[in-house]
């Protein structure tokens, strides 16, 4: 993996890799604050019940609105990994939501989306399951280091 740059901001570091893909990443945490213009992107459920894990952090720290299961509210973007009944979505359904998120992020180059390990906590998937869904992420989407590691594994 070719490390192109790395910038430290206290406990929050960002960087980019240029081989084999061109992705931006973040590391550090747990995230409780972010610089201006950064959006906390978290795994949610379609009910918008942000009561546990990163979803709870999103609601308490970044303004995620209860009842909104997908999209931007406050400084948070809800990316569904569970359904209305709080059951884990199949990978194909999550991939559809990730695609919608990436298209949205591309329309907002003024924002940097800090993606948590969506789908890898309460939803129960591994980074190797979810990371490939983000392979087309633009430069304003900061992936968690675990996703970069999964994307750059030479098999």
- 3-class DSSP state of 95: helix
Provide the domain limits for residue 72. Answer: 35-151
**CA 36/CA 114 separation, integer angstroms:** 12
- Evaluate whether residue 133 is within a structural domain: yes
- Evaluate whether residue 123 is within a structural domain: yes
Close Cβ partners of 152 (under 8 Å, ≥ 6 residues apart) = 1, 17, 19, 20, 21
pLDDT in tens, 125-140: 999 999 999 999 999 9
**CA 33/CA 12 separation, integer angstroms:** 9
Which CATH number do you get for residue 133? Answer: 3.40.220.10
Of 14-28, 55-69, 110-124, 134-148, least confident by mean pLDDT is 14-28
Number of domains the chain contains: 1
**Residues forming a β-bridge with 77:** 41, 72
- Evaluate whether residue 24 is within a structural domain: no
pLDDT for res 28: 56
pTM: 0.84
- Evaluate whether residue 16 is within a structural domain: no
- Evaluate whether residue 95 is within a structural domain: yes
Alpha helices per DSSP H over 39-126? 53-62, 91-106
Q: Closest Cα to residue 47, out of 71, 68, 65?
A: 68
């Amino acid at each position: 993996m070719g490390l192109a740059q790395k910038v430290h901001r206290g406990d929050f570091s960002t960087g980019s890799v240029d081989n084999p893909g061109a992705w931006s990443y973040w590391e550090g945490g747990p995230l409780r604050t972010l610089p201006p213009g950064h959006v906390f992107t978290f795994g949610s459920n379609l009910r918008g019940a942000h009561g546990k894990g990163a979803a709870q952090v999103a609601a308490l720290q970044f303004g995620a609105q209860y009842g909104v299961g997908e999209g931007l509210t406050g400084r948070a973007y809800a990316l569904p990994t569970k359904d209305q009944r709080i059951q884990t979505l199949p990978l194909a359904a999550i991939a559809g939501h990730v695609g919608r998120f990436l298209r949205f992020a591309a329309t907002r180059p003024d924002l940097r989306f800090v993606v948590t390990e969506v789908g890898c906590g309460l939803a129960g998937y591994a980074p190797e399951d979810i990371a490939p869904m983000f392979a087309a992420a633009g430069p304003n989407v900061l992936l968690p280091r675990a996703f970069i590691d999964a994307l750059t594994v030479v098999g």
